[in-house]
Amino acid sequence: MDSKLTIGISACVLGQKVRFNAGHKRSAFCTDQLGEFADFVPVCPEVAIGLPTPRPTIRQILNDDIITVSQPDGSGDVTQALKDFGQAHAKTTFDMAGFIFCAKSPTCGMERVKVYYHHGKGSASTGVGVFAEQVMQANPCLPVEENDRLNDPVIKENFITRIFVYHRWLKTRKSGLTKHKLITFHRAHKYLVMSHHIESYRALGQLLARADQPLEQQADQYILGLMTALKIKATRKSHTNTLQHLQGYFKKQLTAEKKQALSEEINAYREGYSPLLVPLTLINHHLKEFPNEYLSDQVYLTPHPKELKLRYGY
């Protein structure tokens, strides 16, 4: 990768002491690992709208089907200020490869934010952070995730895959989009999208085969379809299907013994006895021995830097 990703991030996740209690929620993965490949753009909505640090806690409160953000007693309503800031900041995210939000925050939580009833009795984890909501609505293609969820290896790998794909897309568009570049981009991502959602794999191919749409409109539909498909977590079954397709490219080059060895590794992965990295490593080994330009270009084989070690654990 010849340039770093630009990623928006809740400032507290980056280690800045901006929480209500002057604490932080630093993510070691973000700062120590992902930070090697990304430039972060930190933001704290509360501080941005003028709240002090430390400060009284704020929460989402439901009253007559309207959710407001204020102190627990209803004072200090900052709902509109947060919405206005969120809408303004969202306009700066279109050149970002992703955004990492602070989980459960009334401003930055992507989902399952606590919404308290105005009478003070109980709550429901049904809210979305006011700031996060504005960012996500403004840019539906933008890969987003929460800091806590990045502790899950499957969710982490899914998110990191998406931000690197989106980074490549932003670079492609910035270079001046053409139909050839769009087709080339899709060609390199075909097996990746197959591993996530086979129906989208077919639909995206059909979309690009059409000649009756302006290029910009087609490109917008394509990237929305691609990023939506990649949100779907790949499974052992879908990975196995993809691996078997890749295996087919070597049917004329490999000896019977090597074919059997690759089949056994793919099956071992399918049954949960080994991680995805094992059959992929063998496929990459065969690709070096028997070069194939089409396969070499496939993002699926190396969707993110090996240094992140994201395919070791599942």
Say whether pLDDT at 1 is over 70.
no
How far is Cα 195 from Cα 237, in angstroms, rounded to an integer? 9
**CB-based contact 45:12 (threshold 8 Å):** no
Residues 187 and 243 reside in one and the same domain? no
- Closest Cα to residue 238, out of 274, 199, 203, 292? 199
Confidence (pLDDT) at 2: 63
Confidence (pLDDT) at 85: 98
Confidence (pLDDT) at 119: 87
What is the span of the domain harbouring residue 288?
236-307
Residues 115 and 185 reside in one and the same domain? no
Q: Is the alpha carbon torsion for 266, 270, 274, 280 positive or negative?
A: positive
Residues 204 and 288 reside in one and the same domain? no
| pLDDT digit string, tens, across residues 196-253 | 999 999 999 999 999 889 999 999 999 999 999 999 999 999 999 999 999 999 999 9
Tokens 């939506």 identify what position? 228
How far is Cα 147 from Cα 25, in angstroms, rounded to an integer? 8
Output the CA torsion 256→261→263→265 (10° steps): -170
Does residue 281 lie within any of the structural domains?
A: yes
Say whether pLDDT at 313 is over 80.
no
| pLDDT digit string, tens, across residues 289-308 | 999 999 999 999 999 999 99
Does residue 312 lie within any of the structural domains?
A: no
Residues 220 and 259 reside in one and the same domain? no
Does residue 275 have a cis peptide bond before it, meaning omega lies within 30 degrees of 0? no
- Give the mean pLDDT of the chain: 95
Beta strand 5-10 with 98-101 is parallel
Confidence (pLDDT) at 12: 98
Which tokens hold the place of 177? 């989009």
Say whether pLDDT at 268 is over 80.
yes
Residues 218 and 187 reside in one and the same domain? yes
**CB-based contact 290:250 (threshold 8 Å):** yes
| pLDDT digit string, tens, across residues 11-38 | 999 999 999 999 999 999 999 999 999 9
Query: For residue 229, with 0-12 CB atoms within 10 Å meaning exposed, 13-18 middle and 19 or more buried, which class applies?
Result: buried
Cα of first residue to Cα of last residue in the chain, in angstroms, is 24
Q: Looking at 133-137, 164-168, 250-254, which range is the least confident one?
A: 250-254
Residues 194 and 137 reside in one and the same domain? no
Q: In the listed set 186, 207, 231, which residue is the last one of a domain according to the structure? A: 231
Confidence (pLDDT) at 120: 82
For the chain, the domain total comes to 3
Confidence (pLDDT) at 55: 96
Say whether pLDDT at 314 is over 90.
no
Say whether pLDDT at 177 is over 80.
yes
Residue 234 is given by DSSP the state P
Mean pLDDT of the region 137-141: 97
Confidence (pLDDT) at 312: 75
